[in-house]
Amino acid sequence: MTVRVAKPGLLSTVQDRGRHGLQHLGIVPCGAMDPVAHALANALVGNDAEAATLELTVIGPELVFGHDALIALCGGEFGATLDGRALPRDRPVLARAGARLVLGRTLRGSRAYLAIAGGIALEPVLGSRSTYLPARFGGFEGRALRAGDTLPLAPDAAELAAARYAHLAAGATRRDGIDTVRWSAPPLTLPDREPIVLHAMEGQHFGLFGAAAQRVFFDATWRVAPESNRMGFRLGGPALVADKAGELLSGPTCLGTVQVPANGAPIALMADHQTTGGYPKIAEIASADVPRLAQLAPGGTLRIARCTLEDALALARAARARLDAALRAISWGYAK
């Protein structure tokens, strides 16, 4: 069972929940940049949380299904059609054998997640199917999809599609030639009106920055620079000068760490970030807010609101509760 890649899109990679527990070897966690949308997409097609999805970036791919497949598209809003008909988002859709899924450019948000019932049948590497582009391992041959690739699906993907779609019978509908359901999952991470507001704690080296830089960091409107990628988002805005930085001892970094290199332009570390770094860390973005940052396209704007560790932990619990509620609602859709 396979999907053929007719057009690859800008950057389409296989991702899952990431590769944890290996940072002591310098091995990056990776995983979906927007793990919330990834989790929703998986749940919508009845997959386990461990299943891999396709992460599609800014310009989506064109895919042809070799057999019936149950699919769901979550996260960024892309113009998407299935055999020429508008594809409803955030819900399970039955794609028939030979169906062509065309994703255009994003309309809102920058990353969409395509889940397929049964998942993507690639061998996990170091415990994960996530693609790590810089070292070329994991996912599909350690790289982004190319035209002509054939993506392996579960051998029983067609049976799973039929069985799971039958489970959805109570809510199933055929509308405008598309087999789907009458309900949808909430888009939890689509960016609000820009500039979006992200919460961040003062970082380990906040004190190395002068009062002016400290104030500017929380006052400025930052713009995601074009050279941003899965490793880090470069933030354009006023230059931040660390008064007393000098040579810092390289130390551990995290998802959401905001480092400031000598040029004064901050970098927010994203899913493929290096596990250690030697630049001063001015702030740490609350982990609950990182998925919304991941949905900003280059040019997107944001502001930073100061928070405490307690606030950030409370945000993480609240975000988890929202996701759990959405996942529960999806599972009711599958209950007979």
Partner 1 sequence: MSEAVPKPLGIVPLGDCAAYVEFSDSLDLEVNAVVQRLAAALRARALPWVRDVVPALGGVALHFDPAHAELPAAPLQAAAAAVEACLAEGLPVAQALGRSLEVPACYDPELALDLDAVAERVKLAPEEVAQRHAAPEYQVLMMGFAPGLPHLGGLDPRLEVPRRAEPRVVVPPGSIAIAGLQAVVYPYAIPGGWNVVACTPLTLFDARGEPPSLFAPGDRVRFVPISRAEFERRRR
Q: If binding is defined by CB under 8 A, does position 23 make contact with partner 1?
A: yes
Q: If binding is defined by CB under 8 A, does position 214 make contact with partner 1?
A: no
Q: Among residue numbers 101 through 120, which ones bind partner 1 (CB under 8 A)?
A: none
Q: Whole-number minimum distance, CB 135 to partner 1, in Å?
A: 5
Q: Whole-number minimum distance, CB 73 to partner 1, in Å?
A: 24
Stretch of 74-82, 226-234, 294-302, 312-320 contacting partner 1, by CB under 8 A: 312-320
Q: Residue 39 or residue 297: which is nearer to partner 1 going by CB?
A: 39
Q: Residue 69 or residue 188: which is nearer to partner 1 going by CB?
A: 188
Q: Residue 181 or residue 258: which is nearer to partner 1 going by CB?
A: 258
Q: Whole-number minimum distance, CB 70 to partner 1, in Å?
A: 27
Among residues 1, 11, 14, 27, the one that binds partner 1 under rule CB under 8 A? 27
Q: Residue 23 or residue 301: which is nearer to partner 1 going by CB?
A: 23
Q: Residue 49 or residue 97: which is nearer to partner 1 going by CB?
A: 49
Q: Residue 142 or residue 238: which is nearer to partner 1 going by CB?
A: 142
Q: Among residue numbers 139 through 168, which ones bind partner 1 (CB under 8 A)?
A: 142
Q: Among residue numbers 248 through 267, which ones bind partner 1 (CB under 8 A)?
A: 248-257
Residues near 110 by beta carbon (within 8 Å), at least 6 away in sequence: 57, 58, 76, 294, 295, 296, 297, 300
Stretch of 58-66, 105-113, 247-255, 292-300 contacting partner 1, by CB under 8 A: 247-255
| Number of residues lying near partner 1 (CB under 8 A) | 48
Q: What string of H, E and C letters represents the secondary structure of the chain?
A: CEEEEEECCCEEEEECCCCCCCHHHCCCCCCCCCHHHHHHHHHHCCCCCCCCEEEEECECCEEEECCCEEEEEEEEEEEEEECCEECCCCCCEEECCCCEEEEEEEEEEEEEEEEECCCECCCCECCECCCECCCCECCCCCCCCCCCCEEEECCCHHHHHHHHHHHCHHHEEEECCEEEECCCCCCCCCCCCCCEEEEEEECCCHHHECHHHHHHHHHCCEEECCCCCCCEEEEECCCCCECCCCCCCCEECCCCEEECCCCCCCEEECCCCCCEECCCEEEEECHHHHHHHHCCCCCCEEEEEECCHHHHHHHHHHHHHHHHHHHHHHHHHHCC
Q: Whole-number minimum distance, CB 279 to partner 1, in Å?
A: 12
Beta bridge partners, 57, equal 11, 111
Stretch of 104-112, 124-132, 179-187, 219-227 contacting partner 1, by CB under 8 A: 124-132
Contact 137, 22 (CB under 8 A): no
Q: Residue 249 or residue 335: which is nearer to partner 1 going by CB?
A: 249
Residues that bind partner 1 (CB under 8 A): 20-28, 125-126, 132, 134-135, 137-138, 142, 201, 204, 247-257, 274-277, 281, 284-288, 309, 312-313, 315-317, 319-320
